[in-house]
Structure 1
Amino acid sequence: MSAPLSPRTIGPFTVKAIGLGCMNLSHAYLPRPEPAQAERLLGHALDIGVDFFDTAALYGFGANEELLGRTLMHRRDDFVLASKCVLGGKDGKRGIDGSPQAITATLEDSLRRLNVDHIDLYYLHRLDPNVPIEESVGALVRAVEAGKIGAIGLSEMSATTLRRAHAVHPIAAMQTEYSPWSRNAEVAVLDACGELGVGFVAFSPVARGVLAGGVGPEGVQEGDVRASMPRFHPPHLPHNLQLAAAFGRIAADAGCTMAQLSLGWVLSRRPYVLAIPGTTSTAHLDEDMATLAIDLSAETLAAVDALFTFEAVSGPRYPRAAQAQIDTETWDGEPLE
């Protein structure tokens, strides 16, 4: 099964099927690495051939972009750089502003923090319900024309919004959570991406650590963003860990790790899917990238499908407030509170 692990096309760029999501080096997950550890991880990623790095203005309220800016840019020609706007921080609080003025200002800040004059792929991180998507995309079209970004992406948006955006300017990528335990993209967005020639970037492809064996019955520590997500609390967590244990048995039978099975399953879904797992560990990064050489059988992939039906996982993907900030489709019967 070589096709799912072939290089991916994202707009004008060709990259490996697995890149690096950089969020948890500065934001959201705990424990957070010391700066020196984060810098070593990024340097190691370059050394082993990672060629797609994904950050955002939100992550660490700019700290993640600054980390990449001081760590990676001496090898700028070796990778595709992606960042995001609209969802950001002000006075230490998270907020959404998709106005053209805010997008333009955020882009200038991102360029400065990243220590570059051009970002390859720049996403609208979320849909601002108060601003027509056409206006937000228009601001990025002007940035393309000014040579400040190379391609436009969207994140956590619906197929309908994708089509509206694509009518203004070709969209290079749609980024959405996708793993065996979060399959909302299969409702409509994956097919829309295929129809329009849009790359699909899967974040949290190992189910926020659950399908890498990284979450136990104690859950996650207070302050970790996952602590606010219902799936990580009773009564949902014990059920979900039973699913993860069954998933681990499938991985063992296939001769790979849980993370590799989850990544391999995600990459098998469409030839235009790129996965961006995040990690603070060089050993885990090596494990993730080794997935590119693993041949999963049709029987193994079918076993994952049978285990993780849409209804299998217990609990909503997001708490109510976070769910209200995303535009992605839900499946019939999906719990939302």
Structure 2
Amino acid sequence: MKTRQLGKTGPVVSAFALGCMGMSDGVYGPADRAESIATIHAALDASVTLFDTGDFYAMGDNEMLVAEALRGIARDRYVLSVKFGAQRDPTGQWLGYALTPAAIKTALAYSLKRLGTEYIDIYRPARLPPGTDVEAVIGTLAELAKAGHIRHIGLSEVGAQTIRRAAAVHPIVDLQIEYSLLSRGIEDEILPTLRDLGIDVTAYGILARGMLGGRWRPGGYGAGDYRAHSPRFEGENGAANLALVEALRAVAEAKGLPMSQAAIAWALAQGDDIVPLIGARRPAQLTDALAALDVRLSAEDLAAIEHAVPKGAARGDRYHAQAMADLDSERR
């Protein structure tokens, strides 16, 4: 397993990260707890060291699942990345974000307990909505880092100006943000800013929530599945995006690759500062994704892929309107 240092001051991690959100809550369809734990163990066996979760994933259950899977594993064998701040009611509905110093410290205390650890390696606000006092949030996290409760500070889904404001308060090691053939908005301002400051990307959504996984067809999702309400998966948008998927499939098959590996390999080819965050839920999915680390795409291959899926060709927003309003990364 190749390794990367996150940012100028961050931890050395595997060049591939495992996102654990889909292992709880049925957000991308039913998940099996035993299979999920087996996937985490398979990742450890493959020398994956970076594991991502959030305190609001299944209202803490995802953290407890991760803790169960990592129980008995030496603490220096893995790096925990945790998002915080999102609020949910007893029915699972979203309530906004709590980012006061007291709320941040409380969230951290509960995450440390659920995860069964004395510190979290990378702690990051899930969102910084309009009006957030960025300096105050990062200042609170800096205090927690100085006290040893967290090791590093990360960001999630924020734009170039906010990245600079945060980095002026405390070193930032990575930005977690959606990046894929279908979501390339970061290339205009955000990625150049990150590279100017020496901050890495942990990229989620590389397979576009399964759209580029090789088996997607429009419709058929349960009510609890995120994709049942996502603009990119709905109606005419879904049909138009399926045409892009099939164009990519043709390019991948011509090279003898599964489409999923072509999509991951494309992301890896965009720079050594990009670490794919893949939400595998079964060991077989993990094995398939890891194989992309050995794929080498030529300049001609990359050109063919981008011809099949041109930048900006995806139809529909990444999230529904209310969630889009909270994305600092989408504000201009």
Q: Report the counterpart of residue 221 of structure 1 in structure 2.
A: 222
- Whether 1:85 aligns to 2:81 is no
Shift, 1:316, TM fit: 1.6
Shift, 1:311, TM fit: 3.0
Q: Report the counterpart of residue 335 of structure 1 in structure 2.
A: none
Shift, 1:74, TM fit: 1.8
Q: How many Å separate the matches in 1 of 2:5 and 2:88?
A: 31
Q: How many Å separate the matches in 2 of 1:231 and 1:155?
A: 21
Q: Report the counterpart of residue 118 of structure 1 in structure 2.
A: 119
Alignment of 1:40-59 (within 5 A): 40-59=38-57
Contact 1:57 1:88 (C-alpha < 8 Å) held by counterparts: no
Normalised by the length of structure 2, the TM-score is: 0.94
Shift, 1:176, TM fit: 0.4
Q: How many Å separate the matches in 2 of 1:224 and 1:217?
A: 13
Q: How many Å separate the matches in 1 of 2:97 and 2:215?
A: 31
Q: Report the counterpart of residue 100 of structure 2 in structure 1.
A: 99
Contact 1:43 1:71 (C-alpha < 8 Å) held by counterparts: yes
Q: Report the counterpart of residue 71 of structure 1 in structure 2.
A: 69
Contact 1:219 1:232 (C-alpha < 8 Å) held by counterparts: no
Q: How many Å separate the matches in 2 of 1:163 and 1:28?
A: 35
Q: How many Å separate the matches in 1 of 2:102 and 2:132?
A: 11
For 1:53, give the aligned amino acid: F
- Whether 1:175 aligns to 2:173 is no
For 2:64, give the aligned amino acid: E
CA RMSD across the alignment: 1.6
User: How far does the alpha carbon of each residue in 1:28-54 deviate from its partner, in whole angstroms, 9 at most, with x for none?
Assistant: 524222322221121121112211100
Shift, 1:330, TM fit: 6.2
Secondary structure of the residue that 2:72 maps to in structure 1?
helix
Shift, 1:142, TM fit: 0.7
Q: Report the counterpart of residue 151 of structure 2 in structure 1.
A: 150
Q: How many Å separate the matches in 2 of 1:276 and 1:29?
A: 16
| C-alpha distance 330-127 of structure 1, shift in aligned 2 (>3 A) | closer
Point out where structure 2 has 5 or more consecutive residues left out of the alignment.
Answer: none
Q: How many Å separate the matches in 2 of 1:149 and 1:253?
A: 46
Contact 1:175 1:203 (C-alpha < 8 Å) held by counterparts: yes
Secondary structure of the residue that 1:74 maps to in structure 2?
coil
Shift, 1:57, TM fit: 0.7
For 1:66, give the aligned amino acid: M
Q: Report the counterpart of residue 297 of structure 2 in structure 1.
A: 296
Shift, 1:103, TM fit: 0.7
Q: How many Å separate the matches in 1 of 2:13 and 2:27?
A: 26
Contact 2:251 2:308 (C-alpha < 8 Å) held by counterparts: no
Secondary structure of the residue that 2:51 maps to in structure 1?
strand
Q: Report the counterpart of residue 259 of structure 1 in structure 2.
A: 260
User: How far does the alpha carbon of each residue in 1:261-281 deviate from its partner, in whole angstroms, 9 at most, with x for none?
Assistant: 111111111220001110212
Identity of aligned residues (%): 36
For 2:219, give the aligned amino acid: E
Aligned residue pairs total 327
Point out where structure 1 has 5 or more consecutive residues left out of the alignment.
Answer: 332-337
Normalised by the length of structure 1, the TM-score is: 0.93
